[in-house]
Amino acid sequence: MKKMLSLFVCILLILSLTIPAFATELTVPFTAESRPEVGGTLTVDKNAMLDSGSITSEMYNALLEGNVIYSWYKNGMLTQEGMGADAHSYKVTLSDQGSTIYVTVSFYEDSSFQESKKCAEACSNEVAIFGATPEVITKSLPDATVGQDYAVKLECSDPDAVFSEFMGCQLSEFGLYLTQHGEIEGTPTKAGNCHINVVVVSEGGGENSFSFDLTVKAEAVPPQTTPTTAPNTDPGTTGSAPSDTTPEPTQPQTQMPGAPENDAFPWWGYAVIILGGIAAGIGVAFMLIKQKKKS
């Protein structure tokens, strides 16, 4: 029994001496600047691996000496492999959209990269590749006016991107709304400063957010027109202007017999009548006196 136990311990010791690094739990990290999207780059963070508590001395030395091979896999299939200075980076292209990418790092004892000299291997987590991050090209919004229809489209680098509002957006408070195609529409109901927060998601899953400020002006009041009084018309000018004074009522005039209708009787006509009456009276008086003398 003791011999069997001693043999088992020896086997474990031999295995631990020959492949000590394969027991590591090191996960290959990516740099903070890595972007798993079309146009982005995935880069292995070598400094983070060196500082990891899971790295062994063999792996540490191999990494320092450059005795490593980076193998990049897309959907489980090897797509890129190398050991040069740029091999630790992977440029994401449009063909990678919708796939998953991960990388394995193989550590070797020397630069011969022989399989027998391979001392360890570590793998990264799988990352999903999204479409390029959409960018809203529109930078500012024209002013709106209360009571007047408003319609503006937010131009985006991805014409198929979908827009939506997120917390803090005040569009509904001002009587406006945002369509999924990036159109801000409606008829403003109040004046003020409207803060707009939007999220835009590309067809490939890339996401971005933007904020805008929209000034809503008060409804324009039409100017009141004040009637003006035309000046008096000088003699010789054509046309007449209405007077702002009310004409006084005129007394009806007595129409003399035989006089033309609506014509005023002249003053000398009255004088002729009076003198004629006086003359007739004098003539009658003389006639009476003469008759009295005869009798």
Read off the pLDDT of residues 94-129 as tens digits, 9 standing for 90 and up: 899 889 999 999 999 999 999 999 999 999 999 999
Question: Is a pLDDT exceeding 70 seen at residue 171?
Answer: yes
Query: 18-128 is classed in which CATH architecture?
Result: Sandwich (2.60)
- Confidence band, pLDDT 50/70/90 cuts, at residue 23: very low
- Confidence band, pLDDT 50/70/90 cuts, at residue 206: confident
What's the confidence (pLDDT) of residue 77? 96
What's the confidence (pLDDT) of residue 250? 53
Least confident of 14-23, 204-213, 218-227: 14-23
Q: What percentage of the chain carries pLDDT values higher than 70?
A: 76
Domain ranges of the chain: 18-128, 144-217
pLDDT tens readout for residues 47-81: 999 999 899 999 999 999 999 999 999 999 999 99
Residues 185-189: what's their mean pLDDT? 97
What's the confidence (pLDDT) of residue 216? 97
Residues 256-277: what's their mean pLDDT? 65
- What is the model's pTM? 0.52
Least confident of 69-73, 86-90, 198-202, 268-272: 268-272
CATH superfamily of domain region 144-217: Immunoglobulins (2.60.40.10)
Residues 1-14: what's their mean pLDDT? 54
Residues 136-157: what's their mean pLDDT? 95
What's the confidence (pLDDT) of residue 220? 72
**pLDDT, averaged across the chain:** 82
Please tell me if the domain spanning 18-128 has the same topology as the one spanning 144-217: yes
Residues 246-262: what's their mean pLDDT? 51
One-letter-per-residue 3-state SS of the chain? CHHHHHHHHHHHHHHHHHCCHHHCCCEECECCCCCCECCCEEEECHHHHHCCCCCCHHHHHHHHHCCEEEEEEECCEEEEEECCCCCCEEECCHHHCCCEEEEEEEEECCCCCCHHHEEEEEEECCEECECCCCCECCCCCCCEECCCCEEEECCECCCCCEEEECCCCCHHHHCEEECCCCEEEECCCCCEEEEEEEEEECCCCCEEEEEEEEEEECCCCCCCCCCCCCCCCCCCCCCCCCCCCCCCCCCCCCCCCCCCCCCCCCHHHHHHHHHHHHHHHHHHHHHHHHHHHHC
Residues 198-225: what's their mean pLDDT? 87
